[in-house]
């Protein structure tokens, strides 16, 4: 198995995002709105990278 590529999310990135979500959840309504917005942006970016990775894998399988 190879290491993560620039476009492929690492396990650490996913764990960091989950920890961020947990901290926002624990803060509840007192969480900073700017921090919530930054989290939503980071989550969307990470999920898009995961989706792209799976699309690339599917495309590779279709050409084999």
Tokens coding 35: 């921090």
Contact 9, 50 (CB under 8 A): yes
User: What pLDDT digit, counting tens, does each position of 7-41 carry?
Assistant: 788 999 999 999 999 999 999 999 999 999 999 99
pLDDT at 46 over 50: yes
Q: What is the pLDDT of residue 41?
A: 98
Q: What is the pLDDT of residue 63?
A: 64
pTM: 0.73
- Domain residue ranges of the chain, discontinuous segments joined by +: 11-62
DSSP string covering 4-55, please? PPSSSPPHHHHHHHHHHHHHHHHHGGGS-HHHHHHHHHHHHHHHHHHHHHHH
pLDDT at 51 over 70: yes
**Helix (H), strand (E) at residue 57:** helix 33-62
Q: What is the pLDDT of residue 8?
A: 82
């Amino acid at each position: 198995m190879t290491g993560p590529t620039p476009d492929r999310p690492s396990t650490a990135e996913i764990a960091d995002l989950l920890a961020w979500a947990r901290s926002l959840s624990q803060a509840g309504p007192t969480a900073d709105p700017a921090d919530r917005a930054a989290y939503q942006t980071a989550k969307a970016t990470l999920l898009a990278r995961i989706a792209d990775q799976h699309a690339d894998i599917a495309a590779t399988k279709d050409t084999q």
